[in-house]
Amino acid sequence: MASSATVLLFSLLSLSSLSLISATQAEDPIIRQVTSDDAGNSLLGAEGHFSLFKRKFGKEYSNEAEHNYRFSVFKANMARARRHQILDPTAVHGVTQFSDLTEEEFQERYLGLKGKLDFLKSNLPEAPILPTNDLPADFDWRDHGAVTPIKNQGSCGSCWSFSTTGALEGAHFLATRELVSLSEQQLVDCDHECDPSNPGACDSGCNGGLMTTAYEYLLKAGGVEREQDYPYTGTDRGTCKFDKSKIAAKVSNFSVVSIDEDQMAANLVKNGPLSVGINAVFMQTYIGGVSCPYICSKRNLDHGVLIVGYGSAGYAPIRLKDKAYWIIKNSWGETWGEKGYYKICRGHNICGVDSMVSTVASIQS
Ligand SMILES: *[C@@H]1O[C@H](CO)[C@@H](O)[C@H](O)[C@H]1NC(C)=O
């Protein structure tokens, strides 16, 4: 497996510089310049890329030492984006809003999934096996009004709360035909539920949490308020301000979906968007396309996101064939990825996307 991947990699190296140019969004000069830089070249022009980056994302640094440090991190991330591009040729990698952060800083501030590997052995209810023969070839809950606009978790490891509200927003829509944006801040402030099969793992605001424990919390608390009644602040320093009289959506039940991409699709179509855990290592440099890296650990599930749909044919410049993919709603604002969305290829549990899948139902009210 490793050796065939290596052979494939080397045979692709010669092709990759060509395809990078076509895969790159030509209207974005930063990205074109960065990804078309030859790997290993002197970082001539890195200064210019950094200025463009600062302007594009409104970056300001408090002093010169900080500025210089961030520039060095930026250069390392440009090299990393080029490595990711080689490992993940069906996506486009380059400069993102996170290009001045080290991998550790990125993990700490923008991820926040307290995952467990043997998720399926955790005594949670399992979703019934659904028929899969009549599944549509393409499906997208955004086309059916079940998905709220992209949100932004800011510099807080609260991804789990966005994945939770996203799934419940969809389930609530299915139950009521009403799309209501729900409060992550209530979960950040009030949900301290622990995973009974892993007592060290408790939902803890900006320090991470888990979607299934958040559903447990919502069952106990009675429900969740609207976003507008309990707005997001991006910190976990406040106290819990949950007001039961303002409950806008209630969990009826939830379950864990088996590691089977057809069952995932069937549950998505039947129950609405699915909460999933994912290894986010390629997401720091992701610009667009279908991410399908040759090597991505299925074990380090460190980010909670929402599958809102799937497609049968994505853009795959190198392999010259269509790739099936999942459409993933992220919580890093619209400036990240494809207007806030990520596409990851379907069918191989890439980056562990099949390993921690849950589905929720809402009470009709
Ligand atoms: C909720 O429970 C019902 C009845 O047991 C079950 O059929 C359904 O699949 C469950 N929904 C979810 C999302 O787990």
pLDDT tens-digit readout, 77-106: 999 999 999 999 999 999 999 999 999 999
Distances (CA, A) of 337 to 92, 120, 132: 9, 30, 30
Rg (CA), the chain: 20
Is 50 exceeded by the pLDDT of residue 204?
yes
- Mean pLDDT, residues 246-267: 96
Question: CB–CB of 122/328 below 8 Å?
Answer: no
Structure tokens at 40: 């290993």
Domain that holds residue 78: 2-100
Judgement on whether residues 46 and 113 belong to the same structural domain of the protein: no
More confident of the two residues 42 and 66: 66
Query: Do residues 7 and 154 share a domain?
Result: no
Distance 188 CA to ligand 1 centre (A): 26
The answer to whether 253 and 361 have CB atoms below 8 angstroms apart is: yes
Question: 176-186: per-residue pLDDT in tens?
Answer: 999 999 999 99
Residues 259, 137, single domain; the answer is yes
The amino acid occupying position 103 is: E
DSSP letter at 1 equals: -
The CATH number covering residue 201 comes to 3.90.70.10
125: number of Cβ within 10 Å:
11
Residues 92 and 115 in one domain: no
Rounded distance between C-alpha atoms, residue 21 and residue 13, angstroms = 14
Give the span between the Cα atoms of 238 and 148, in whole angstroms. 25
The per-residue pLDDT of the chain, averaged, comes to 87
Pairing of strands 91-93, 224-225: unpaired
Tell whether 43 and 134 lie within a shared domain: no
Same domain, 43 and 176: no
Give, for ligand 1, the residue of 124, 255, 263 to mutate: max count of ligand atoms closer than 8 Å to Cβ.
255
Question: Which of these three, 57, 78, 100, is where a domain ends?
Answer: 100
Q: Which of 37, 66, 100 is the last residue of a domain?
A: 100
Q: Is the CB of 128 under 6 A from ligand 1?
A: yes
Q: What is the pLDDT of residues 131-158, one digit of tens each?
A: 999 999 999 999 999 999 999 999 999 9
Question: Six-digit token pair at 301?
Answer: 């599930």
Domain count, the chain: 2
Instruction: Report d(CA 122, CA 214) in Å as an integer.
Output: 15
Residue whose CA lies nearest to ligand 1 atom number 2: 253
> Distance from the CA of 328 to the center of ligand 1, in angstroms?
23
Which amino acid makes up residue 296?
Answer: C
Spatial separation of the C-alpha atoms in residues 34 and 47, rounded to whole Å: 11
CB atoms within 10 A of CB 199: 8
Catalytic residues: 159, 303, 330
Shared-domain flag, residues 154 and 298: yes
**Does the beta carbon of 297 sit less than 6 angstroms from any atom of ligand 1?**
no
Beta strands per DSSP E along 181-257:
194-195, 198-202, 224-225, 247-249, 251-257
255 CB within 6 A, ligand 1? yes
171 lines ligand 1 (CB under 6 A): no
What is the percentage of the chain residues whose pLDDT exceeds 90? Answer: 73
DSSP label at residue 245: G
Residues 133, 138, 143, 147: is their CA dihedral positive or negative?
positive
Which domain-ending residue is among 55, 70, 100?
Answer: 100
* Full-model pTM: 0.87
Contact 273, 166 (CB under 8 A): yes
The verdict on the CB of residue 127 being under 6 Å from ligand 1 is yes
Question: Are 272 and 333 members of one domain?
Answer: yes
* Residue that the structure tokens 């490992």 belong to: 87
Other CB atoms within 10 A of residue 137 CB: 9
